[in-house]
Amino acid sequence: MVIGSISDFYTTNFPRSLRVADLGCPSGPNTLLVISEIIEAIDETCHQLNCKTPEFQVFLNDLPSNDFNNIFKTLLAFYEQLKKEKGENFGPCSITGLPGSFYDWLFPSNTIDFLHSSYRVHWLSQGLIEEAQVDSFNLPFYMPSRKELDDVVCVEGSFYLDQLHIFDVNGDGSDNDDKKSFMFDRFISAQKMAKCIRAVVEPLMAYHFGEAIIDILLSRYMVNISDHLSKVEAKNANFVISLRGK
Along the 246 residues of the chain, how does pLDDT read in single tens digits?
A: 888 888 888 888 888 999 999 988 877 777 888 899 999 999 999 888 888 889 999 999 988 877 888 888 889 999 998 888 888 778 789 999 999 888 788 898 889 999 888 866 443 346 767 777 777 887 766 778 888 888 988 898 898 889 988 887 776 655 555 555 444 677 788 888 888 888 878 888 888 888 878 888 888 888 888 877 777 776 777 888 999 988
DSSP 211: G
Task: Round to whole Å and give the CA distance between 62 and 118.
Answer: 12
**Residue 3: CB partners within 8 Å, gap ≥ 6?**
37, 38, 41
Task: Round to whole Å and give the CA distance between 246 and 137.
Answer: 36
Give the count of alpha carbons within 13 A of 140, CB side only: 2
Domains of the chain as residue ranges with CATH: 1-120 (3.40.50.150), 121-246 (no CATH)
| Global confidence as pTM | 0.57
Neighbours of 170 (CB within 10 A): 16
Task: Round to whole Å and give the CA distance between 131 and 136.
Answer: 9
Structure confidence at residue 193 (pLDDT):
83
Cα Rg, the chain, nearest whole Å: 21
Structure confidence at residue 143 (pLDDT):
76
Task: Round to whole Å and give the CA distance between 101 and 63.
Answer: 6
Structure confidence at residue 20 (pLDDT):
93
Structure confidence at residue 122 (pLDDT):
45
To 10 degrees, the CA torsion angle through 75, 76, 82, 87? Answer: 150
Q: Is there a contact between 23 and 116 (Cβ–Cβ < 8 Å)?
A: yes
